Amino acid sequence: MELERILSEYVSDSKFEDLPKGPVDSIKNMVLTILGTTVAGATAEGCEAVVNQVKQWGGKDEATILIHGGRVPAYNAAFANSVMARALDFCDGMVPGIHFGASCVPTALAAAELAGGCSGKELLTAIAVGCEVSARLNLTGTAYNGFDPTGVCSIFATAAITGKILGLNSKRMWNALSLAFNRSGGSFQSNIDGSLAVRLIQGFVSQSGVVCAQLAQQGLTGPRNFLEGVYGYFHLYARDQYSPQGVTEGLGTKFKMDNLLFKKYPSCGGTLASTDAIVKLMEMNQFIPEEIDKIIVRVTPAVYNLTGHSFKIGENPKVNAQFSIQYCVANVLLRKYPELKHFDEPYVKDPKITELIKKIQVMPDASLNQRDHRSADMSVVTKTGKTYHTVIDAPRGYPDNPLTEEEHLKRFRDCIGYGSKPLAPEHIEKIISLANSFETVKDVRTIIPLLLSQVSREA
């Protein structure tokens, strides 16, 4: 039980002053990113239905449903807000497909309201240590073997964040995390089938994290050996292939959450390298779709299994497109650069896209794992027989190829501009200002009114 104790004490005892500048800056970027994606995703398919459902469920008015307005129990506010934040798949992430921010930021804001307020330093600290615990428990794609890392692992972050903001001591934090273990789960089949469950899993993570912390606060217990026990996390999910030293080494001084990806493009992380590749080739060579005979894309088997399948439009065209390399490459060929609107149904069903997709072949190549699990090789062959080739190992937005501050701000403004429930212009600028200096905010609840749309206010 040593590992469980160390992590529980780390979460409960950490202070803002213990955090280096790097993790703090990453969390501030995360906050700005998620506030933007929440605005953009507020009316995406299924989101308004979720908002209506949590309002119908009713209950205590503990926390705010962002953008739409209305107050509901904190766990349901976190659920609805997280579904909106993940809806367009433009949030942050980490290999092999775990999404933190779309749960962590909404959970932290709901917990702050539940707790009667908290400072910016307290919120940043809670998110940082919560993400760090999950990042250290994050497994490989092979270990997950089709389980959704977000549903399996991000829940430790949301339970830790809520518990931290509620002021749980290390004993009760231990129980919050162990109860969260019993609520972990989710499958990548949701992604492959293009179902709305992808964004719902993000909401379940937040909802359950809040519930587990509240239950622990009331003295309810979970399994003490939830990580290393005979039927614990590492046995069930990692198949007993783990290193306790790897989980705790440098805890508090070295931050694995620094491996966060902030996407440059609004699609699944598995499509980013291929998107980078076609953007690069288009910029260098200026060819046009009519000149193309075929495009061959090689990716790692894990990426292929998630995003390399033949593109088909199902019940949810946006999700189908977000998780398809074929669509993302064809979209750049036709429209030069991917934008949020390009994943809306009219764009996805454009006959020109359908014709271009027929020219794009995606293939799994295990040898690429020797270079990098994110790697993509692309060859564009023209009708005249000319071939253009490029290789991408570190897509834009990853820590080894990070976005600039200007690109982070552009992403935020693009999200705000896309959203159909607009914020007041003066509120947008205030949000940017607060996000950049969050550690100076005395009570983070002051940001909540800024995140209610003008349409909701007028209604």
282 and 255 part of one domain: no
Nearest to 444 by CA among 191, 106, 142, 184: 106
Tell me, what's the pLDDT at 221? 98
CA angle 365–303–102, rounded 5-degree value: 165
For position 315, what pLDDT does the model report?
87
Residue 438 belongs to domain spanning: 2-264+402-458
3-state secondary structure 120-158: HHHHHHHHHHHHHHHHHHCCCHHHHCCECHHHHHHHHHH
Q: What is the pLDDT along the chain (459 residues), one digit of tens a residue?
A: 699 999 999 999 999 999 999 999 999 999 999 999 999 999 999 999 999 999 999 999 999 999 999 999 999 999 999 999 999 999 999 989 899 999 999 999 999 999 999 999 999 999 999 999 999 999 998 899 999 999 999 999 999 999 999 999 999 999 999 999 999 999 999 988 889 999 999 999 999 999 999 999 999 999 999 999 999 999 999 999 888 888 999 999 999 999 999 999 999 999 999 999 999 999 998 888 999 999 999 999 999 999 999 999 998 899 899 999 999 999 999 999 999 999 999 999 999 999 999 999 999 999 999 999 899 999 999 999 999 999 999 999 999 999 999 999 999 999 999 999 989 999 999 999 999 999 999 999 999 999 998 765 444
Total domains, the chain: 2
Task: Report the CATH number that the domain containing residue 337 is assigned in CATH.
Answer: 3.30.1330.120
Last residue of a domain, one of 370, 392, 414: 392
Q: Does 6 share its domain with 121?
A: yes
- What is the model's pLDDT at position 1? 60
- Whether residues 206 and 90 fall in one domain: yes
Task: Write the DSSP assignment of 323-348 as a string of letters.
Answer: T-HHHHHHHHHHHSS--GGGGSHHHH
Choose one of 358, 392, 426: the last residue of a domain.
Answer: 392
Cβ-Cβ contacts under 8 Å for 421 (sequence gap 6 or more): 39, 42, 43, 67, 68, 453, 454, 455, 456
Same domain, 252 and 352: no
At residue 456, what is the residue type?
S
- For the stretch 6-43, what's the b/e string if a residue is b when 16 or more beta carbons lie within 10 angstroms of its beta carbon? ebbbbbbebebeebeeebbebbbbbbbbbbbbbbbbbb
- Is 112 within 8 Å of 123 (Cβ atoms)? yes
How many C-beta atoms lie closer than 10 Å to residue 310's C-beta? 10
In a domain, 397, yes or no: no
Q: Judge contact between 104 and 30, C-beta under 8 A.
A: yes
- 111 domain residue, yes or no: yes
The reported pLDDT for the residue numbered 395 is 94
Same domain, 118 and 252: yes
Q: CB 286: neighbour CB atoms within 10 A?
A: 8
pLDDT for res 141: 86
Tokens 């990692």 identify what position? 238
Q: In whole angstroms, what separates CA 137 from the centre of its chain?
A: 16
CA distance 352 to 28: 40
> Do 247 and 371 fall within a single domain?
no
Residue type, 393: D
The whole-model pTM stands at: 0.92
Asked, for residue 250, whether it belongs to a domain, the answer is yes
127 and 19 within one domain: yes
Do 196 and 306 lie in a common domain? no
Q: How far apart are CA 166 and CA 159, in angstroms?
A: 10
Same domain, 356 and 207: no
Q: Are 141 and 373 in contact (CB under 8 A)?
A: yes
Looking at the structure, tell me whether residues 103 and 166 fall in a common domain. yes
Indicate whether 194 and 283 sit together in one domain: no
Give the domain CATH number at 116.
Answer: 1.10.4100.10
In contact, 209 and 103? CB cutoff 8 Å: yes
Please report the sign of the dihedral spanned by the C-alpha atoms of residue 343, residue 345, residue 347, residue 348: positive
pLDDT at 456: 55
DSSP letter, residue 67: B
* Whole-number Å distance between alpha carbons of 447 and 453: 13
Give the model's pLDDT for residue 192: 86
Task: Determine the Cα–Cα distance for residues 173 and 152; give it in Å rounded to an integer.
Answer: 18
Query: 294: which DSSP letter?
Result: E
Count of positions (residues) in the chain:
459
pLDDT (0 to 100) of residue 458? 46
Which pLDDT score, from 0 to 100, does residue 380 have?
A: 97
Question: Are 29 and 173 in the same domain?
Answer: yes
- Helix (H) / strand (E) element for 291: namely none
Gap between the Cα atoms of 402 and 380, Å rounded = 26
Q: What angle do CA 45, 49, 55 make, to 5 degrees?
A: 150
Per DSSP, the three-state class of 119 is: coil
How far is Cα 189 from Cα 293, in angstroms, rounded to an integer? Answer: 32
